Amino acid sequence: MRSAIKQNHVIFAGAIAWLLMVGSGLALLWDYSSAPGAPGSAPVQWPASSRIRPVSDRFTVVVVAHPHCPCSRATIGELGVLMARAQGRVNAHVLFVQPAGFDGDWVKTDLWRSAAAIPGVDVLQDEGGIEAHRFGAETSGQTLLYDPMGRLSFSGGITSARGHYGDSAGLDSIVELVASGAGNSSAAPVFGCPLFERGAQCSKGSKPCVG
């Protein structure tokens, strides 16, 4: 009898330990997924030196992404939702940062192909991150909205967490701004990998984002 009771105590203690480990792991995962990246510093007026030219009869969206950031799959997916909801009132450009020393094939990942498949989206290689710097982006998934006058209307992310699909304050803000034609600037957290921090991890166990 005592042996059976002792065995039950061991099993119970083991179960408690396992639950604690699972709980700790889930907490760490949640902390990571809900931690925003650096917000960047987008210019309030369209950068004149940019090789991208905005149009004067509609809003322009610029998304800056790291081609190997798993978090940005959701951003590209939500960009497709945005373009569908905007109903032709937005021009969109996705800039994939290509660090020095990496060729064009390194940039053209599944993220590139997914972005290129969205109607109305222009996809560009950003060699050396020159354009990303012009637009003040620091985190993959940084999304900027400029009005027809070239004024910044939104800067931030269009997902609610890293790799999370679905409703987000950023996406809703852009849709509302485009629909109303309002120029008031708004912002939302951006969730993704650092674009320029050498050795930064895109996700646990992944290769460095840059270099």
> What CA–CA distance (Å, rounded) separates 129 from 127?
5
Amino acid at 64: V
At residue 23, the pLDDT reads: 41
Per-residue DSSP letter, 203 = S
List alpha helices for the chain, DSSP H: 2-33, 72-86, 104-107, 110-116, 130-134, 169-180
- Torsion angle of alpha carbons 184, 133, 127, 91, nearest 10°? 0
For the chain, domain boundaries: 1-33, 59-187
Name the pLDDT band for 165 (thresholds 50, 70, 90).
confident
- Please say whether the beta carbons of 111 and 141 come within 8 A: no
> What CA–CA distance (Å, rounded) separates 159 from 141?
9
User: Six-digit token pair at 139?
Assistant: 């985190």
At residue 138, the pLDDT reads: 95
As its CATH architecture, domain 59-187 has 3-Layer(aba) Sandwich (3.40)
**64-78, 116-130, 148-162, 185-199: segment of lowest average pLDDT:** 185-199
- β-bridge mates for residue 146, sequence order: 60, 152
pLDDT over threshold 70, residue 150: yes
pLDDT, one tens digit per residue, over 169-203 is 999 999 999 998 865 668 899 999 999 865 444 54
User: Six-digit token pair at 165?
Assistant: 């699909």
pLDDT, one tens digit per residue, over 26-40 is 333 334 446 778 888
